[in-house]
Structure 1
Amino acid sequence: MATALRNAVKVFYYARNAARDIVPQALFRRRLTGWLDQVRLSDATVRERLNYYNKLQHAFVPSPAAVPVSRLPFSPSMYYYDLKEFARYFDPGLLIDVEFGDVINVPRMPAVVKDRPINDDNSNAVLMKLDKFRHFHMPADRMHFADKRPAVVWRGELNNPIRTVFLEATRNLSFCDVGTPKRTAAEQYRKPYLTIEQQRHYRYIVSLEGNDVATNLKWIMSSNSLCLMPPPTYETWFAERQIEANVHYVPLEPDFADLADKVRHFERHPAEAERIIGAANAYCRKFCNERDEQAISLLVLYKYFVLSGQVEPDPDVWRFISS
């Protein structure tokens, strides 16, 4: 049933976005001024988040590879639709650099991306909420922590060496149900596929980065299970850098030698586990305020176009952004 519902939502996602492409785009552009008038009345949280996603401070010129808003690359389609949802409010001739897919390095020129490395020199990577159907799926969890199976679960592809290290470290731990459903993996690593709902029946869910960020992190932190993971090295719109160890998740050593001790500790101190789960749930809730999400997305692009010299800034809006 959950899979059928998810598929139905996916069909709606594509139908709605295809319809937006058919509608005369001038209708969206006429609404931009009204949107910006409302946005500048937003609170400081909106300003802080937009300037976190778009850290650019100085004027720049788009690269020779920049594309007009009217000709954004269509593949992957979800990246296209998620960016076009907000880019369509701007002049179709405005140029923008984009890097779709898993970005493991900071672009040489300011570009819109889904993810970026966590470091102090990543300003050229301008984050937008891309591929959100996959990355921001956070279904409700109605099972209490105490009612869940007292064990650790993980499923995923072996597309990062840390995942193989994890499977090796947990091979002889009886309280761990971990592995990959990929048939091409070595036999000792294979385990049957588990849905998100099935994984949420476990008290402890491990999150491990793959090609870039860990896709499962959002739905784990929005659940009533405890998230365990090494500190993240990449971030998306979810701002993984701002997630705090022992506040929103339980940190693990790179060799996972501390996993058994961590699980033993929280089995003896379930109230502490529930405190971390509560903080993780609260962190996730801000991404469910659709009005703020839309305002921030528009402002991230607005700031990009202003600093690239393509849009004359409205004094009031720019004062809100830069104050």
Structure 2
Amino acid sequence: MALLTDKRIRRIAYFSAAVPQHYLVPTSLYRGRLDRLLRGLDDEELARLGERIGYYCKLDEPFGVSDGAVTLKGVPSNRQTMYYYDLRAMMRCFPPQVRIDYQFGDVNWVMDHPSLVKSRPISDDNANNVLLKLNRIRHFFPLDDPFRYEDKRDLLVWRGAGGQRHRNDFLRKYRHHPMCDVGQVNEPTADGQPDWVKPKMTVKEQLRYKFILSIEGNDVASNLKWISQSNSLCLMVRPKFETWFMEGRLVPGTHYVELRDDYADLPEKIDHYLANPDEAKAIIANFQAYYRIFTDVRREELLCLLVMKKFLALSGQLASA
């Protein structure tokens, strides 16, 4: 468990593989990678892939890249972050002259120009934000919950950084609530209170609770993916941002318990699912099944490359999508 959930260990393992690939593996060996991954796929599987590609890249009309678009060599390599290595692994599979617009980090706005990003607002007009599986090692890591739902504590848990107004509003209401073990792990901002600060908890420690809060930060909530693999019930307001995880497709009452934006119904929801454990376990099972969509490593790589290919084709840099 510690090996899978400890951030430092995951980062060490990630860079131990990414850095040698960067310096030692010739880019020419990546050519044809997409064709090799496509071999043997039947029409039904291709149709399923196409549906997800259309979700990640909603663009349908041709467009031109901006004057600031760059080739792979133009992506700053002196900042060798997980974003950089994830993007590089995809771009190496395409001709070196292709150019892209991109934005690393927490993107919580709609881009002015079609761009490759990790996140976007959930809306009908977010097509300029083309989603890729970036910073994947932070958001997608396997978890095995050793605790049964019925053996967990009858409380809601949350640990995270405070500072955003919506997180501060939540802490102001529930920091001392008897149904909650919640707190921020950073120093309080001007709008915060010292008694909101609580010691950090490991993922395994949080798994001992029946209810886990997922609350968005600058964009999506980073704990949502590991909650979806747990035997705990996820409680959250309807998400406003999405990533490769397709948060916009999560269904309240099926994958998670929806809370009001002001969290006023939190005690009521906890009481309900304490009294109805079978309902809670059904939602947990549905959320676990949802996460399994993203666990096929080969298919996930193929999808990323096909999204990239669609972007490059619509921008006139490849023959066809």
When the two structures are superposed, what TM-score results if normalisation uses the length of structure 1? 0.92
Distance in structure 1 (CA, Å) of the matches to 2:151 and 2:225 = 21
- Write out per-residue CA displacement over residues 268-303 of structure 1, whole angstroms, 9 at most, x where no aligned residue: 100000000000000001110112101111100000
- What is the match of residue 170 of structure 2? 166
Of 90-99 and 7-16, the range deviating more from structure 2:
7-16
Please state whether the residue corresponding to 2:245 is helix, strand or coil. Answer: coil
Higher mean displacement: 16-25 or 82-91: 16-25
Could you say which residue in structure 2 is the equivalent of 1:10? Answer: 11
What SS does the aligned partner of 2:146 have? Answer: coil
Name structure 2 gaps, 5 residues minimum: none
Give the 3 Å change call, closer, same or farther, for CA 97–224 of structure 1 in structure 2: same
Query: Do structure 1's residue 34 and structure 2's residue 36 form an aligned pair?
Result: yes
In structure 2, the partner of 1:243 is 250
Q: Is the 8 A contact 2:212 2:234 kept in 1?
A: yes
1:321 corresponds in structure 2 to none
* 1:1-323 correspondence to structure 2 within 5 Å: 2=2, 6=6, 7-21=8-22, 22-38=24-40, 41=43, 42-74=45-77, 75=79, 77-184=81-188, 186-313=193-320, 318=321
Contact in 1 for aligned 2:64/2:315 (Cα 8 Å):
yes
CA distance in 2, matches of 1:8, 1:104: 28
CA contact (8 A) 1:69 1:91 kept: no
Q: Which amino acid aligns with 2:164?
A: N
1:213-232 superposed Cα distances (whole Å, 9 cap, x missing partner): 11111111110000000000
What CA distance in whole angstroms lies between the structure 1 residues aligned with 2:2 and 2:239?
Answer: 29
| Matched residue count | 314
TM-score, normalised via structure 2 length:
0.93
Moved over 6 A (4+): none
Q: Give the Cα separation in 1 of the matches to 2:224 and 2:55.
A: 20
The one-letter amino acid paired with 2:160 is G
Q: Is the 8 A contact 1:70 1:93 kept in 2?
A: no
What's the CA shift for 1:191? 0.9
Shift of 1:4: 8.9
Identity over aligned pairs, percent: 42
With 12-21 and 110-119 compared, the bigger mean Cα shift is at 12-21
Q: 1:247, 1:311 → 2: CA distance?
A: 40
- How much has 1:190 moved relative to structure 2? 1.0
Alignment RMSD: 1.7
What's the CA shift for 1:72? 2.0
> What is the letter of the counterpart of residue 27 of structure 2?
Q
Q: Which runs of 5+ in 1 are unaligned?
A: 319-323
* Contact 1:76–1:100 (Cα < 8 Å) also in 2: no
Output the CA distance in 2 between the equivalents of 1:101 and 1:76: 13
